[in-house]
Structure 1
Amino acid sequence: MKFKTILLVVLVSALKSNAQELTASLKDLSFMTGNWFQKHEWGDMEEYWSAPMGDCMTSTFRCVKDGKAVFYEFMIIEQTGKIPVMKLRHFNPGSIGWEDKEHPQSFPLVQLVQNKAVFAAADGSLRLSYVRSATDKLDITLEEKDKKGKLNTTVFNLTRR
């Protein structure tokens, strides 16, 4: 019995040490670059992603309904150590910020495969997936837990402008 326990501990330790730590660069996220648009129930949505430059990428987002701005987002992705980290801020019309000025929402990259990147909050409350499904299509999936812990999923299917 003792031998089996020791063997199990050794095997688990070996598996953990062989698990690959995610390493990625901003160039791996180049597939997100472009001007993307969607008509949505919330309003007309436009999201622009710049190409990587130096250690960052930037993005602006706007949602406009009936000719009036509903809200905006400003996002940056910065190379932080071995992985890119997305920082996001929301704004009401008039540039009124939602988040504390010292603490933007932060989402490290947690998964990367060809033309797909997943960013997630450290506490598991939110995941953002970006998938380039065709040369002119960018699908964004927002998975967010509400105050009761229930997971809500919203999919945005954007087209290149």
Structure 2
Amino acid sequence: MKNNFLILAFLFFSISAFAQIKKAAVKDLAFMSGTWVQKSEWGDLEEFWSQPNGESMMSSFRCVKDGKALFYEFVVIELEEGLPVMKMRHFNRGSIAWEEKEKPLFFPLVTLKGKLAVFEMKDKSVRLSYQLITENKLSVVLEEKDKNGQPKKDIFSFTRKLY
């Protein structure tokens, strides 16, 4: 009897842990706001997140190496059907877009627990996690498959830029 209870409890908590969220507000993502910087093998990284406003947030990102910007990202998070959805576009120097005009990358919010937000493409090919570790430390984890189809994880440890 005790074993049956433990099995049922395990199943209940396992299922609920993987259940997708049904509703969230953009304001719940305010912990991401700020200007975040990191030096990495890619170069000097800088990511700015606005405060939530008008059921949206926006972000700009740039990667600078050897004194030259290599690429940029522009991101908006907008509320769609009760859930925040991240919409991302990449650009080379000269503002040359990687994605087609009508096709930004879409990442619906799939997990929101305290200061952790996880966004994932519907085909599950790419996942982005944002977690505020301390007031001045933001961890961003990019999970995707490499050119050979093998799982790849890049972890970015951003520090809040204080002016």
Same fold (TM over 0.5): yes
Percent identical pairs in the alignment equals 56
Find the residue that maps to 2:101 and give its secondary structure. coil
Matched, 1:91 2:91: yes
1:73-128, Cα deviation, whole Å (9 max, x unpaired) = 00000011111000000000000000001000000000000000000010110000
Cα distance in structure 2, aligned partners of 1:20 and 1:154: 23
Q: Distance in 2 between matches of 1:54 and 1:141?
A: 27
Aligned residue in 2 for 1:9? none
Coordinate RMSD, CA, aligned: 1.5
Count how many residue pairs are aligned between Structure 1 and Structure 2.
145
Cα deviation for residue 145 of structure 1 reads 1.3
- The answer as to whether partners of 2:45 and 2:61 remain within 8 angstroms in 1 is yes
TM-score with structure 1 length normalisation? 0.86
**Aligned equivalent of 1:109:** 109
- The code of the aligned residue for 1:32 comes to M
Q: In the alignment, is the contact (CA less than 8 A) between 2:90 and 2:97 conserved in 1?
A: yes
**Structure 2, gaps ≥5 residues long:** 1-14
Q: 2: distance between equivalents of 1:21 and 1:127?
A: 15
Amino acid at match of 1:121: M
8 Å CA contact 2:38–2:44 kept in 1: the answer is yes
Query: 1:22, 1:111 within 8 Å by CA — same for their partners in 2?
Result: no
SS at match of 1:94: coil
Structure 1, unmatched stretches of 5+, are 1-14
Cα distance, 1:21–1:157 mapped onto 2, change above 3 Å: closer
Counterpart residue type for residue 90 of structure 2: H
- Could you say if the C-alpha distance between residues 20 and 39 of structure 1 is closer, same or farther in structure 2, counting changes exceeding 3 Å? closer
Runs of 4+ that moved beyond 4 A: none
